[in-house]
Amino acid sequence: MSVEDLLSSLSGNRVVYYALYGALLFGVLKLTILGLSFGSMIFGLFILPPVNFKKYGAKQGKWAVVTGASDGIGKEYAFQLAKKGLNIVLVSRTQSKLELIATEIESKYKVQTKIVAFDASTDDDANYISLRNVVSELPITVLVNNVGQSHSIPVPFLETDEKELNDIITINNTATLKITQVVAPLIVSTIKKEKKKVRGLILTMGSFGGLLPTPYLATYSGSKAFLQAWSNALAGELKPQGVDVELVISYLVTSAMSKIRRTSATIPNPKQFVAATLRGVGRRNGAQERFATNTPYWSHAIMHFAIANTVGVYSKVANSLNFSMHQAIRKRALKKAERLAAEKKD
């Protein structure tokens, strides 16, 4: 029996008829929205050309501030933004590393650099005074909030070391917010002076750990979820002032923090991840359901889209799978620690 015949046979019962007809229309609408959303993701990831950073002041004497800039993703942001023609303020803990990176950037890309040695785990006012002293007179258009910390290994919240808990919140949240309070007004001021001929950009690193509530990484997961809400709110506030604000969501990337060394289809290296991020600034890619949010790497985007449109990021299914995965990772990490301890005794 065709759909038309079924509806015709039920036409005598107007309530059932209209209920079925409404359900059919709703289903068609949902499928249409899903199809358009998927098409938009594919178009943004693979077809649209890279974003031209001239609109953010590249090759016009403007500056970008990059936190956590001495290693991994932060270092790569510094190099790739310099390659696009932005001068770079490098912010990280170790002075000696910053000096080496600054010299390499200046030599390779012929841009200016400044460095700020900044221990984000201390929440010391002196850090923010030092940063303000360096950046206060610079025409800044870009801020990359990359500094961050996770747990050393997956751990139940009730067993989380107090120092580790405090460090994660201080570095991921307090430092990020206070650094933005120092730098964002300078970006707004630069845009005003340029009469909005250029735009400002604030990128903040999110995580699948914040996208999906993650047992055994509860403190880290909560800190990244906080950044999602804060960044989205800030995006609404600063958009009228010519500043684009975006949360950047990543799955695993090879880095010291993830402790992963080998790349794969789902695990890019920092160079690949940052290139994807800067290529698609302003596009949601896999984060189709979220405002001012981007899941830029292609496999991460597809994973995000699939989870959001099937079980859902806050579902019991997603939570249970995350629980099992991180419980297994914890067991392996503890066994490895026991083995290393035994070898050290021998």
Q: Which residues are annotated as a binding site for substrate?
A: 207
d(CA 297, CA 311): 21
Tokens coding 279: 């290529």
Among candidate residues 77, 216, 220, 251, the one labeled active-site is: 220
274 to each of 29, 74, 144, 221, 336, how far by Cα in Å? Answer: 36, 9, 11, 22, 31
Burial of 323 (0-12, 13-18, 19+ CB in 10 A): middle
DSSP states of 102-150 as a string?
HHHHHHHH---EEEEE--TTS--HHHHHHHHHHHTTS-EEEEEE-----
DSSP states of 38-91 as a string?
HHHHHIIIIISPPP-GGGGTTTTT-EEEEESTTSHHHHHHHHHHHHTT-EEEEE
Q: Which residue has the tokens 């940052």?
A: 274
Are residues 80 and 101 in contact, defined by beta-carbon separation less than 8 angstroms? no
110 to each of 83, 104, 321, how far by Cα in Å? Answer: 9, 10, 48
Q: In 3-state terms, what secondary structure has residue 201?
A: strand
Are residues 295 and 249 in contact, defined by beta-carbon separation less than 8 angstroms? yes
- What radius of gyration do the chain's Cα atoms show? 23
The strand pair at 243-248 and 293-294 is best described as parallel
Describe the crossing of helices 298-308 and 14-42 by its angle, rounded to 10 degrees. Answer: 170
**According to DSSP H, which parts of 194-286 are helical?**
208-211, 218-238, 270-279
Nearest to 245 by CA among 184, 185, 286, 169: 184
Tokens coding 90: 């490098």
Q: Is 220 a catalytic residue?
A: yes
H or E element at residue 182: helix 176-193
Catalytic residues, by residue number, are 220
